[in-house]
Amino acid sequence: MIVNDRIVTYMHSLEKSNGQLCDEMEKYAHENYVPIIRKEMESFLKVMIQIKKPVKILEVGTAIGYSAIMMASAMPDNCTITTIENYDKRIPVARDNIKKAGLQDKIKLIEGDAMEVIPQLEDKYDFIFMDAAKGQYINFLPHLMDKMLPEAVLISDNVLQEGDIIESRFGIERRNRTIHSRMREYLYQLKNMEQFDTSIVPIGDGITVSIYHGST
Ligand code: SAH
Ligand code: MG
């Protein structure tokens, strides 16, 4: 928790159910250790989508399709989602969930490593949800910038790493040090590149909300 536990519990107590399918997916995710978005992130994402009203959403990291289905419930009718996942055990589960939600025409799931898939995408996007391997965000960024429409919104999940981000490199377990320094670099870039305006929001596991001002 990066903010007070009781505040998070209180916030959760005010969240509504997102329907039977989402409740079942949430249960599956918890039983199978699938890291889906936190409860308070669901309403945040849905509200951001309704403010932006995107026409093309790109998600990096589908897992079992939970956040994609959640975003689809808030997006305009003319909008579609492309989502990328490389873990072969999760892909059929995600496909099945997308089908159960009746969203096969709205959510396109691409199988593969985002590092290879992103440069090959033909479309440009006006809303991107980055939620894959945290140590890779910094590597995905230039490829994603190539695929952003002007004024695109980029939301990146899990950027404060359960609060570890503020620890010194030596306070971090050795195996997590690379991710730690790459995430700091990522945050530095988003806050300092002239193409982005970025706000770091301590919700869930910490997120960034950025607006792209590049010209493509
Ligand atoms: N957005 C989902 C959760 C995603 S969890 C939700 O909230 O419902 C992160 C996912 O990213 C994992 O399933 C992992 O397998 C996938 N992932 C990690 N690195 C990836 C990469 N390089 N390419 C594609 N998928 C990746
Ligand atoms: Mg996440």
Q: Which atom of ligand 1 is nearest to the CA of 35?
A: 5
pLDDT at 68: 98
pLDDT at 56: 98
Strands 80-85 and 107-111: parallel
Q: Which of 36, 62, 144 to mutate to test the pocket of ligand 1 (most atoms within 8 A of CB)?
A: 62
Q: Which atom of ligand 1 is nearest to the CA of 117?
A: 23
216 pLDDT band (50/70/90 cuts)?
low
Q: Which of 25, 36, 60 to mutate to test the pocket of ligand 1 (most atoms within 8 A of CB)?
A: 60
pTM for the structure as a whole: 0.96
| Distance from residue 85's CA to the centre of ligand 2 (Å) | 13
For ligand 1, residues with CB inside 6 Å are 35-37, 61, 63, 66-67, 84-87, 90, 113-115, 131-133, 136
Give the chain's domains with CATH numbers.
5-212 (3.40.50.150)
Per-residue pLDDT reduced to its tens digit, 30-89: 999 999 999 899 999 999 999 999 999 999 999 999 999 999 999 999 999 999 999 999
Per-residue pLDDT reduced to its tens digit, 162-176: 778 888 888 888 878
DSSP track, 35-56 = -PPPHHHHHHHHHHHHHH--SE
Average pLDDT, the chain: 94
Mean pLDDT of 111-121: 98
pLDDT at 166: 82
| Distance from residue 129's CA to the centre of ligand 2 (Å) | 10
Q: Report yes or no: 98 and 109 within 8 Å, Cβ to Cβ.
A: yes
| Distance from residue 83's CA to the centre of ligand 1 (Å) | 9
Tokens 């059929």 sit on residue: 92
| Distance from residue 56's CA to the centre of ligand 1 (Å) | 19
Q: Which atom of ligand 1 is nearest to the CA of 132?
A: 11
